[in-house]
Structure 1
Amino acid sequence: MGVRGKLTPDAPLAPLVWFKTGGAAEWLFEPKDAEDLAQFLSDLDPQVPVMALGLGSNLIVRDGGVPGVVVRLGKAFAKVERIDDVTLACGAGASGILVSSTARDTGIGGLEFLRSIPGTVGGFVRMNGGAYGREVKDILIDCEVVLRDGTRQILPLADLHYTYRHSELPEGAIVIAATFRGHPDAPEAIQAEMDRIAASREASQPLRSKTGGSTFKNPEGHKAWALVDAAGCRGLMLGGAQVSEKHTNFLINTGAATSAEIEALGEEVRARVLAQSGVALEWEIQRIGNSEPSPLQGRGLGEGHGANG
């Protein structure tokens, strides 16, 4: 069985994630289109783990690498199109900046907050991404997924059972598209709100650093950054990893950090916050892969898979 996209063994993931750390994917698959992805998953051994990778912003790839297949959706999945006066059809590979800019150009308000989330539509939908008082659940109509067995399915908003930074997508499902609904608004007003959001982010977040975005979820009734600050963790370092001086809910790779150091620093912060305030912080950043190199690294996917360009 062949693929029409690109299938790469032992593919380094560090260049593809914001922290610029971590090991390789056993296999990296960049499908040519939705049909290519569906066929690939249909033919793949059901025991092989599969996960999707977007912009790699809210992610720690552990140093031992990721077993199975990492799927990265490219340009074929990055289209954003106007359906009507208030609705956009968005590919899962489209960035928040592209979606919000297209909404502005077509006079659709209410999607400005996506400008501030470093990621792609697939990640937003999976994690109910949000910022500045809005969440994906406020704008999503439905999404299209490819299930682990290769079946394609449209899931309405209600089926995702959204809670804070969480959805109940089927295990192994890969989001390939989403439909967002806003409201009519003037492009000038939309741009003004996007500018306000961009300025707020620039002032408060370490955007020029190798970081992973918000590290911990905000506990009920608290701000994570304030709890971290109160526990004395501002600027705390472990190896090459540091708690940001600018925004204490961000971890930074100062240059030569390992993923192990970044994750261990996060656990140290959690321990200090728990001791100081009694609040158990939950990770918002997803951590994937093995802490140590796997003895299974490099195993075959089965007959017929090849690295096609």
Structure 2
Amino acid sequence: MGGNHTQTEFILLGITDSPCVQTPLFGLFLLIYIITLVGNIGIMLLVWVVPSLHTPMYFFLTHFSFADVCYSTAISPKMLVDLLSEKKTISFTGCVTQFLSFAFFGTAECHLLAVMAYDRHVAICNPLRYVMVISSGVCWQLVASSYLIAFLSTIIYTSCMFGGSFCGPNQINHFFCDISPVLKLVCSDTHSSEMIIFAFVIINVVGTSVVILLSYSSILFRVLRMPSAQSRSRAFNTCTSHLMVVSLFYGTVFFMYLQPASNHNSLDKVVSIFYTVVTPMLNPFIYSLRNKEVKGALGKCRRRMLNCCQHKKSWVS
């Protein structure tokens, strides 16, 4: 990994080169990043402190929120610094590290979404065996498998991207070190590297999306056969939040990584902003606003805090 490169640093061309636009974008993206951190860390803390949320579904959700925080942190801080900098440079090692983090947590999210779909499938289609099938040990195995597959895939992606020779231009036409913009700077033939990367993207993205599709097809078939309208409504509400997150994440990922390299254009930056910056911010809101259990847990925590404050005031007075 690193190959016979001669470049010691790259220049990121960023989102825009207009100074008038960069400052407002800095303020907007800083706000989005803060909300992302507060929202996702808040979900993790909420699941940790509320006993009623100590279930497999929320165990997987905490890992998904953790991946969102790390995934966003791999991109946003550097992007924010570059929006206020004249020279947007990143060292070769920094570029490799950024892509490693981004690819690892992004790939892990694909597999965590598939795991969450499987969890909902078992909960709805086989509720009597749910506790046995999705045991604590199985939960840890599924999460560990997601991270292991992500780690192995990331090593392959990174070796293919940075294993060539960088002896020409050093300007990356993007705001972070992504596959297509970096490979355009490799002097040697990148066809085999592109094919290997594409094959693993297919395995990770398409493979997990097939698992999700099959899980929800089975859920839909089961729900439509439920005699009670209330049961059907409860089952659909359980799955709606997850389906919204899946649609947002996979829609942009499919657009970015499952199209020919020749089709990439300036629209890529807009799409990249959406799945690297915006989507991690939206996920906590989707899960909290659409989920009665999370809203109930938030209400309990708020009431506890109010009671605690009132108790302190009465004690002081």
TM-score (norm 1): 0.26
TM-score (norm 2): 0.26
Tell me which structure has the larger Cα radius of gyration: 2
In proportion to residue count, which structure has more strand? 1
In proportion to residue count, which structure has more helix? 2
Higher relative contact order (CA 8 A, sep 6+): 2
